Chain A
Amino acid sequence: DTEVTQTPKHLVMGMTNKKSLKCEQHMGHRAMYWYKQKAKKPPELMFVYSYEKLSINESVPSRFSPECPNSSLLNLHLHALQPEDSALYLCASSQGLGGTPSGANVLTFGAGSRLTVL
């Protein structure tokens, strides 16, 4: 299995709602990532997990809460979002974190979850 699966594909939520985005991979990768992508912009890193521990938090507002229940799963919990948080949210995984050869920083991305905040 060489895929990263994200659910849901589309999500519409109000500013008072609580929802979650889910990501799953079965490639044995030990690093998982959340990226946010606005239209016509490159993906921006939000969080990195390495061996199920939060490794990088790019000063993301607390209304976004990541969770890594196990090495195959990554969640992004959403609460009290703003309309400007509407974007494509991408999950990715890699064998490890960068700095070494053998594809350590080759990221495999999911298809993304398109989030609209009303």
Chain B
Amino acid sequence: LAKTTQPISMDSYEGQEVNITCSHNNIATNDYITWYQQFPSQGPRFIIQGYKTKVTNEVASLFIPADRKSSTLSLPRVSLSDTAVYYCLVKLAGFQKLVFGTGTRLLVSP
């Protein structure tokens, strides 16, 4: 079964840039890649969405190579409040449903 994989965890310090990659080598051709942030006992919250190349909003950037087999969420200058689990969400080829990545637990320290 095709999976969407992410690093289990990452550690960072306040003020640093953090890059989290999601591998989705069987992504559906026409669908977008979306990233979410989740705090304990809360629902995931939308961060950013893109189809190809680079997308930037007020909180993050998303880099997608031409083959779209991976995507990288970039969080500039993280703060303690960015400590959370980050998930990518994609539709895999041959599947109707959207599939969450395995999730990356980010810990930001002072």
Contacts and interface: CB of A to CB of B under 8 A. Distances in A.
8 contacts: A48-B97, A98-B91, A101-B51, A105-B49, A107-B46, A108-B46, A112-B42, A114-B41
Among A4, A43, A99, find the residue whose CB has the most chain B CB atoms closer than 10 A.
Answer: A43
B89 A107 contact: yes
State the main secondary structure of chain B at its contact with A: loop
Contacts of B97: 45, 48, 56, 58
B81 interface: no
Q: Interface extent on B, as a size class?
A: 20 to 34
Interface of A: 4, 41-45, 48, 55-56, 58, 88, 90, 92, 98-101, 103-112, 114
B103 A42 contact: yes
Given A98-B91, A105-B89, A106-B34, A43 B46 contact: no
Contacts, number: 65
Contact of B87 (A42, A105, A110): A42
Interface string B43-64: 1111001010000000000000
A106 B42 contact: no
Chain A interface, >50% SS class: loop
Given A98-B91, A99-B91, A106-B34, A45 B98 contact: yes
